[in-house]
Structure 1
């Protein structure tokens, strides 16, 4: 049975031929490009001019003069706007968790092309928000930590919450102006700017949107523009089992607005849910045992030889370092798509040891450092790089 991307590759080759230099294939993320390129190579009996592979994010960024800022820098600029508009002096550390939520809200507003002023209308105009009882305990606790100095009184919490809400649109406007003045943007802001432009100069003749199943309104607007110019084709990724469900409302809309290049009733593509699957359940009392089972699992049924057709999917990404250590030595190459957390690197471990040594290693009354803390530092593998004399 051929995969979805193999079918896409076959269709591209049949429709556009071997010279694909004028074609751009747009994916939701970067991962799929590798497999589509391999499928095109397998189907070709000679040299093939590869299409351009870009993500939807890159497509938007290529048509903007703005640059998406680093997340911490973005929230730092948001904090400046918050302090300016509200006159409050919450520290950046205190503001940061709320800043993340607020940035996420602003990003959603722009990606959904919503009128921000209407969204952030004063909550006092809404009867259902006459109090803060609609917030759960965790959300109320976060509010209290953010607003700090007040007693456990919902009326005061309500007052401070409404006061903050009444400023959110002004913060939104000032924040966007502040970023734009530096040539920066958050992703939703950049997307909206591009989608609202009257004229866009598209570099390629054909744009093939492959593997999408969730599309923001701002992306739909770009799809519509390319479709009107006769430059867009769509290869949707969905399953027929869900099409009759309420949750598939948007998929049905997408298929109507942006018709699929494939037959929506093709069972080989869109009937995966009902296809027989081979699933084995293994009981493991601890996460560590789960990770160590990877060694045995990979050595079974030629899974190592299967190469990129073998995948390890983690429910908890914190297991990644342990799983990496459990991959057997005969696996020469593997790809980590989640990224490797900086906090799990040897450098981070060394920094933690140095900080602990500074805070706890020195005994003032003895005017000496603890031998235990010294040994922990000396045993770190990077200590050899710092001093050749380390035993």
Structure 2
């Protein structure tokens, strides 16, 4: 008799990132995800939303200058209520919400906001990091694991220059990252021992964290390989996007064939983690608007097939926007009018194959 395939310790959630609180400045909030949007997701068969938050969105400070260390603690209850409302709307529609600190005190994968210290070097930054998770976990202490999870930090890495988008990046030393995860877990579970905690893979979400299997923490990987397909001509990724070659899928890059078998190799460490009893979810994935539509769909079909084979769910970046199924600004898509929104029906049909 054949042994049963290993079961992922995390649910095989399928859904989207929503970017309502992604920008550090509430005045530049570009999305207002409503209960109607969540109802569409649920009706289409999805069950998950990830909410990447920039902490300056919900704190009060003088935005005419860089934030000061003491201002990191000045919670703006009015902005917090926006987060609470979004969580409640999603839960009412049966969707699990994963709260993520996309920008934490002292660190963000993106440039564009000057931090008062460095999360990986300064104890003051770690204290602030713990303060913010204490706040959110206490605020949502009545929520169940089916309703909410807490994704500690988006895409951890070391950066030579926090203000330079193209600065060199590397993995965080293992024990340093474990220390942050331990402190985050202890803080969150002080509010509710049952809270579900997730940690993004090391080195921009790409590397399995191999020294936390004792912590009952899920891990979040990324579905952006190869970058030439996922971020074709993206100016925040390529310094000279106009010089990129034509992109295809499958493809050959520097003599290496990129196809479904290659994708399976890329996800092999995450598949192995599931086989060891760990929990894995692909917290971000997708292709930017400049990737030819047929290329994006072919690549996504192969990627989601590999993930589904191993009981790993996914969260598209994003629902509404240049990576998403609504209003993506692609020039090679015949959009369907969906209650006044531009729906990429072919991409939606592809996604629903895996829900």
Q: Same fold (TM over 0.5)?
A: no
Is the radius of gyration larger for structure 1 or structure 2?
1
Larger RCO (CA within 8 A; separation ≥ 6): 2
| Larger fraction in strand | 2
TM-score (norm 1): 0.23
TM-score (norm 2): 0.24
| Larger fraction in helix | 1
